Amino acid sequence: MGFEDFSRNSAVEDEQETLQFIMFDELPPASQPASDRSTPASTTNAAGRDTALSGAQLQTLARDLGSDNVASRNSAQETIRGLDPAQVVMQLGSEQFRSRDAASRILESMGPRAINALEAGVRSDDLETSRRSQHILQRLDGPNFDRLVAGLRDPDQAVRQAAELRISRMSTDSLLDRVGRGDISGRELDAVSRMIRNRNSDEQIRQLYIDGRAYGADESTLRRQIGAQRILGEDTRDSESRLGDLISQTPGREAEAEVLLRRSLQGQNVPAQAEIRSNIALADVYSRMPGRADDARRHMNSALDNIQNSGLQDPKNNREHLDRILQNNNIRMTEQERQRATGLRTALQNQIDDWKKNFGAKKAGQ
């Protein structure tokens, strides 16, 4: 289908196609398709001979792929495993919207196996084939990134190489964000680490996340910092603590914050400020969750223990931590616990005042 044919599509069909493709809704009820002059996709039958699939058959296959019927879905997946991705890409230029849409769904379900064919499709002279191929590749880089990572351990070397090439084209920031989210681990993390280190020295990687150490760093920066620390084999617990604390302040994200905060408290020699921060943030999170009042008080008391056991070091930060505890009306503190927190805050404030006084005296004597 050339540019003129593409331009003649009605506004209604364009809108329907865009919504269905992007939102990935269920296919509408099948109707008898008009003639379809695109090349049929081919599969291999039990005898090893290629069998052509028409646009109508691809539509049925795509519908079965999204079916609630397990048998139909499994049968569709088995058939798709035998399809030639290059032949399905040719259906992206079909004159029939249903065939184009079915081919798109099937190619996305193929994952990394379809990368080489899709990249060839991007270079197609047919505008629709090129546009859809690019869109599917972007979805593999984005929402279906885990499928791309899974391609790194595919038994087929060509699939592994295609997946690795696709991932290697992503920006370092994007990859660090994925690593920071925990989307990559094990041998796949080793492979991605090699990709990043091939283009950046360890010092350059450290510079990429230096802003994450600054006060008020945003969520994206903190995720990249965690990703860079994982690549370098460094301790991520302070960064996870700060990210979990940041996320915990957004209503509705308590469960996500809990995972990060609990992980930041695991292991020996947890950084002192990370331990205090995470316990306070967990107290805040649990105080907002039904039935977790006891957990909130337990983490609040752990934070008070941390501050007291630190010998009142880092008074400014610890004072702010105590203010956060005392101002949280959701935590059901006993009078004894409140007095303890207030006493610690007073001791820290006195320490700060003494330092200011001594500093002022030294400055006056110079």
pLDDT of residue 209: 66
Q: What separation in angstroms does the CA of 120 have from each of 138, 162, 285, 288?
A: 14, 12, 49, 52
pLDDT of residue 143: 66
Maximum average pLDDT range among 121-130, 136-145, 175-184, 210-219: 121-130
pLDDT at position 46 over 50: no
Q: Which positions ≥6 away from 187 have C-beta within 8 Å?
A: 152, 153
Label residues 125-134 b or e (16+ Cβ within 10 Å = b). ebbbbbbbbe
pLDDT of residue 16: 44
pLDDT of residue 260: 95
Dihedrals φ, ψ of 350, to 5°? -60, -40
pLDDT at position 25 over 60: no
**Angle formed by the axes of helices 97-110 and 55-65, nearest 10°:** 50
Closest CA to 261 of 272, 246, 251: 246
pLDDT band of 70, cuts 50, 70, 90: confident
Any idea what the Cα angle at residue 55 is, between residues 50 and 59, rounded to 5°?
110
The DSSP secondary-structure symbol of 83 reads B
Q: In the predicted model, what is the mean pLDDT of residues 270-278?
A: 93
Q: In the predicted model, what is the mean pLDDT of residues 92-109?
A: 90
Q: How many CB atoms lie within 10 A of CB 9?
A: 13
pLDDT band of 216, cuts 50, 70, 90: low
pLDDT of residue 239: 92
Dihedrals φ, ψ of 83, to 5°? -80, 150
- The pTM score is 0.64
- C-alpha 70/C-alpha 363 separation (Å) is 78
pLDDT 10s digits, 222-231: 998 999 999 9
Task: Please state, rounded to an integer, the average pLDDT across all residues of the chain.
Answer: 81
Give the residue, 248 or 173, on which the prediction is more confident.
248
- C-alpha 213/C-alpha 228 separation (Å) is 12
Helix (H, G, I), strand (E, B) or coil at 183: coil
Q: Tell me if 63 sits within 8 A of 71, measured CB to CB.
A: no
Dihedrals φ, ψ of 147, to 5°? -65, -40
Q: Please give the share of the chain, as a percent, with pLDDT higher than 70.
A: 80
Rg (CA), the chain: 28
Give the residue, 26 or 171, on which the prediction is more confident.
171
- C-alpha 100/C-alpha 98 separation (Å) is 5
Q: Tell me if 91 sits within 8 A of 53, measured CB to CB.
A: no
- Between strands 50-53 and 41-44, the pairing is antiparallel
Q: Tell me if 295 sits within 8 A of 247, measured CB to CB.
A: no
Q: How many CB atoms lie within 10 A of CB 79?
A: 18
pLDDT 10s digits, 291-317: 999 999 999 999 999 998 886 678 888
